[in-house]
C-alpha cells in the first residue's frame, strides 16, 4: 500500500477529486493549508501593502493499493496542471499496515469493501 500526499492549487481541487474518483480512488482526506514558496514579493492594493509570500493550497491525502497508484498519479498530473509555477507537488510513502476498526481486518483488505479485489 502507498500513501499519496498531494499539494495543489485550490482552484484545481474539484478537477483532481473527480479524476481520482474516475480511476477508482473513492476516499480522500483533504485540508486547506498555507505555505511559503520561492516567490516572496509584496503587492500594493489601494495604498495598502500585502504580503503574498504565504500561498494557500489544498493538501489531499489517501492510501491506495499498488494497482491504483500509477493511474492515480497520472490522473493528478493531468487534472492539476496549469503549466504555471506553483502547480504543486506529489509525495509517495510506503504504508506497512492498515486496520479496519469496525471488523479488525488488516492489510489492504481493510481498505475496500468485502468481495472487491
Give per-residue pLDDT as tens, 48-106: 776 666 788 999 999 998 889 999 999 999 999 999 888 999 999 999 999 999 999 99
Nearest to 81 by CA among 12, 23, 20, 7: 12
* Domain boundaries of the chain, sorted by first residue: 2-111
Are 86 and 4 within 8 A, CB to CB? Answer: no
Whether 117 shows a pLDDT value over 60: the answer reads: no
pTM of the model: 0.81
- Top-level CATH class of 2-111? alpha beta
Report the alpha-carbon distance of residue 48 to residue 26 in Å, rounded: 44
What is each CA distance from 84 to 9, 19, 37, 49, 87, in whole angstroms? 11, 20, 14, 24, 6
Amino acid at each position: 500500500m502507498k500513501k499519496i500526499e498531494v499539494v495543489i492549487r485550490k482552484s484545481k481541487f474539484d478537477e483532481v477529486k473527480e479524476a481520482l474518483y474516475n480511476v477508482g480512488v473513492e476516499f480522500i482526506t483533504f485540508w486547506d493549508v498555507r505555505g511559503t514558496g520561492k516567490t516572496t514579493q509584496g503587492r500594493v492594493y489601494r495604498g495598502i501593502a500585502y504580503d503574498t509570500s504565504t500561498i494557500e493550497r489544498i493538501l489531499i491525502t489517501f492510501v491506495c493499493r499498488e494497482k491504483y497508484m500509477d493511474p492515480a498519479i497520472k490522473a493528478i498530473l493531468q487534472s492539476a496542471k496549469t503549466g504555471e509555477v506553483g502547480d504543486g507537488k506529489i509525495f509517495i510513502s510506503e504504508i506497512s499496515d492498515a486496520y479496519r476498526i469496525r471488523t479488525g481486518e488488516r492489510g489492504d483488505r481493510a481498505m475496500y469493501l468485502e468481495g472487491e479485489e
